[in-house]
Structure 1
Amino acid sequence: MAKARNLTQETRLKIKILSQEGYSCRQIARKCRCSPSAAGYTLQKYRRTNSLEDKPRSGRPRVSPARNDRILIRMCRQNRRMTSQELQQQWSNQTGVQCSNRTVRGRLLDHGLRSYKAIKKPLINERQRLAQRYWAQAHKNWTARNWKKILWSDESSFQLYLHPTNVRVRRRPGQALSPACTVPTVKHGGGSIMVWGCMSAAGVGHLTVCDGTLNSAKYCTILETHMLPSVRALFCRGKNWMFQQDNAPCHTSKASRTWLQEHCIQVLKWPAQSPDMSPIENLGWIIKRSVSKRKPKNLEELKAVIQEEWDKITPQQRGRLVGSMPARIRALLHVNGRTTKY
Structure 2
Amino acid sequence: MERHHLTLEEMNRVVGLLEGGMRQVDAAERMGVSQSVISRLWRRFRTTGNPAENHPGRGRCTTAIQDRFLVLTARRQPTITAPELDMEFQRAHNLTIGRDTVRNRLHEADLHSRRPIRCPPLSRGNRAARLNWCREFQNWGVNEWSTILFTDESRFGYHPDSRRIRLWRRSGNLERLRHVQEVHRYRGGTIMVWGGISIGRRTELVFPDGFLRAQQYLENILQPIVQPYAEAVGENFHLMHDNARPHTARIVTQWLDNEGIDVLQWPTQSPDLNPIEHVWNMLQRRITPNMGNVQNVLEFRELLTAEWTNLNQEDLNNLILSMNRRCRAKGSATLGAALDLVEAVIKNMESGRHVVDLFADLQKAFDTVDHKKLLEKLYNMGARGPAIDLT
TM score, norm. by length of structure 2: 0.68
The answer for the alignment partner of 2:299 in structure 1 is: 301
Cα distance, 1:93 vs. partner?
A: 1.1
Output aligned runs, 1:115-264, within 5 Å.
Answer: 115-165=113-163, 170=170, 172-173=172-173, 180-221=178-219, 222-233=221-232, 235=233, 238-264=234-260
Comparing 151-160 and 259-268, the one that deviates more? 259-268
Distance in 1 between the 2:282 and 2:268 partners?
23
Kindly indicate whether the alpha-carbon contact (under 8 Å) linking 1:25 and 1:40 is maintained by their aligned counterparts in 2. Answer: no
Cα offsets for 1:152-205 (capped at 9, x unmatched): 1110111111125275654754676x5x43222234322211111112113111
The answer for the alignment partner of 2:46 in structure 1 is: 44
Distance in 2 between the 1:38 and 1:328 partners?
64
Distance in 1 between the 2:88 and 2:45 partners?
52
The answer for the alignment partner of 1:25 in structure 2 is: 19
Cα offsets for 1:257-283 (capped at 9, x unmatched): 222222221111111222222121111
Match of 2:163, SS? coil
Kindly indicate whether the alpha-carbon contact (under 8 Å) linking 2:138 and 2:325 is maintained by their aligned counterparts in 1. Answer: no
The structure with higher relative contact order (CA 8 Å, sep 6+) is 1
Match of 1:208, SS? coil
Match of 2:193, SS? strand
- Specify the code of the residue in structure 1 equivalent to 2:242: D
- Specify the code of the residue in structure 1 equivalent to 2:240: Q
Q: Give the 3 Å change call, closer, same or farther, for CA 43–294 of structure 1 in structure 2.
A: closer
Distance in 1 between the 2:248 and 2:334 partners?
26
RMSD (Å) for aligned C-alpha atoms:
3.5
Cα distance, 1:136 vs. partner?
A: 0.8
Distance in 2 between the 1:313 and 1:43 partners?
64
Tell me, which stretches of 5 or more residues in structure 2 are unaligned? 1-5, 22-37, 337-391
Match of 2:204, SS? strand
Output aligned runs, 1:87-106, within 5 Å.
Answer: 87-106=85-104
Tell me, which stretches of 5 or more residues in structure 1 are unaligned? 8-14, 16-23, 28-35
Distance in 1 between the 2:150 and 2:172 partners?
51
Match of 1:114, SS? coil
Match of 1:288, SS? helix
Q: Give the 3 Å change call, closer, same or farther, for CA 335–302 of structure 1 in structure 2.
A: farther
- Specify the code of the residue in structure 1 equivalent to 2:123: N
Distance in 2 between the 1:140 and 1:151 partners?
17
Match of 1:118, SS? coil
Q: Give the 3 Å change call, closer, same or farther, for CA 336–243 of structure 1 in structure 2.
A: farther
Kindly indicate whether the alpha-carbon contact (under 8 Å) linking 1:192 and 1:299 is maintained by their aligned counterparts in 2. Answer: no
Q: Give the 3 Å change call, closer, same or farther, for CA 252–97 of structure 1 in structure 2.
A: farther
- Specify the code of the residue in structure 2 equivalent to 1:241: F
Matched, 1:69 2:67: yes
Cα distance, 1:243 vs. partner?
A: 0.8
Match of 2:284, SS? helix
Q: Give the 3 Å change call, closer, same or farther, for CA 265–164 of structure 1 in structure 2.
A: closer
Kindly indicate whether the alpha-carbon contact (under 8 Å) linking 1:144 and 1:325 is maintained by their aligned counterparts in 2. Answer: no
